Amino acid sequence: MSNVRIGILGAAAIAPAALVKPARDVDRASVVAVAARDRGRAEAFASKWSIPAVFDDYEALIGDPDIDAIYNPLPNSLHADWTIRALRAGKHVLCEKPLTSNADQAREVASVAASSGQVLMEAFHYRYHPMMHRAVEVVRSGELGELRHVESWMQVPLFKRRDIRFDLALGGGAVMDLGCYSIHQLRSITGEEPSVVSAVAKERSGDPGVDRWTRAQLRFPGGATGTFTVSLYGAQALRIGFRATGSKGELRVFNPAGPHLAHRFTVRLADGTTRRETLPKVPTYRYQLEAFCDSVLDGAPVLTGPTDSVANMEVIDAVYTAAGLPVRP
């Protein structure tokens, strides 16, 4: 195999940016099929994006021998089931974040992935961009001294009343949609697994159990503390970033999720020096797809595989529990 032939489960709004467009620039990837339960929707999607095959049944797409891998951008509550089905059918899977609705499901998916021998990658696309590689390098190099505190913030207001990200049964909530990123960022730059000290959340009016805003306090084994704040509402249109503070300085990163659009990467040291770095303005999704193909075709390790996914979901569950909200079903 020299090219990964990928089928998409669902004509999802995220699919063009996350997969279809990047595949045009990645020689070893081809988007060859899309499935939607509404065939008309699948046909319209395929026509718009020049995808050759259309299915109105997810199982049929998964069972097609001319497809090597599945991209799963379905609602969160459907991630586990359809990822497991694809793995058992011998397909590699690139699954949107969060991998599952809860940690128990993540452990089940990880077990199936291990026994299947297929590649399973959770689509934390930002993790594959040089900006995040550089952030990890700076923090772990010791340039900032002893790491004392890490913090992440993500505010992405949603104005549609019935957005699925506010549906508890579909795995909705601010921590599920945005907090999964923040937790992953803090785990990645520290290289450690945190415990949850406390968490507070604001539920969405009329949607009990669904957080529209959450803040959590974390503690890492090496002694650093952590904080993240995520919000699906607010006056500011967009606010995304993280920082790491050590005994000798601070790293502050703006827009790790979309550095190709705009970014700032600033290191301020205790001796008064400030350094700003510019990273490649290439979409994060392209780096992610290249890494996925490298793993499928060459056996290269992935940074966001099943073990990492389980650890991330365990923190998500712990945050919801600490905030007095239910773990997603």
Q: Where are the domains of the chain?
A: 4-125, 126-285+312-322
Report, in angstroms and rounded to the nearest whole number, the Rg of the chain calculated over CA atoms: 20
> Counting Cβ atoms within 10 Å, is residue 105 exposed (0-12), middle (13-18) or buried (19+)?
buried
Q: With the CA atoms of 23, 302, 215 and 313 taken in that order, what torsion angle do they form, in degrees rounded to the nearest 10?
A: 110
Higher-pLDDT residue of 26, 234: 26
Q: What is the token pair recorded at 285?
A: 């999704």
pLDDT for 159? 63
| Cβ count near 217 (within 10 Å) | 17
Q: Do 4-125 and 126-285+312-322 agree at the fold level?
A: no
Q: How confident is the model at residue 271 (pLDDT cuts 50, 70, 90)?
A: very high
Residue 209 tokens, joined: 């159990």
- Give the model's confidence band at 158: pLDDT under 50 very low, under 70 low, under 90 confident, else very high: confident
Helix boundaries (H) for the chain: 15, 21-23, 39-49, 58-63, 76-88, 103-116, 130-141, 174, 180-190, 284-298, 306-322
The CATH number of the domain covering residues in 4-125:
3.40.50.720
Split at pLDDT 50, 70, 90, the class of 107 is very high
| pLDDT given at position 161 | 65
Mean pLDDT of 145-168: 87
Contact 31, 49 (CB under 8 A): yes
Tell me what pLDDT residue 165 has: 85
Quick check: 237 pLDDT over 80? Answer: no
Cβ-Cβ contacts under 8 Å for 222 (sequence gap 6 or more) = 147, 190, 192
Domain 126-285+312-322 of CATH type 3.30.360.10: yes
Distances (CA, A) of 125 to 75, 121, 155, 218: 17, 10, 18, 24
CB atoms within 10 A of CB 167: 16
Distance CA 255, CA 242 (A): 8
Segment among 117-121, 225-229, 234-238, 262-266 with least mean pLDDT: 234-238
Percent of the chain clearing pLDDT 70 (strictly above): 98
Query: For residue 238, what pLDDT is reported?
Result: 80
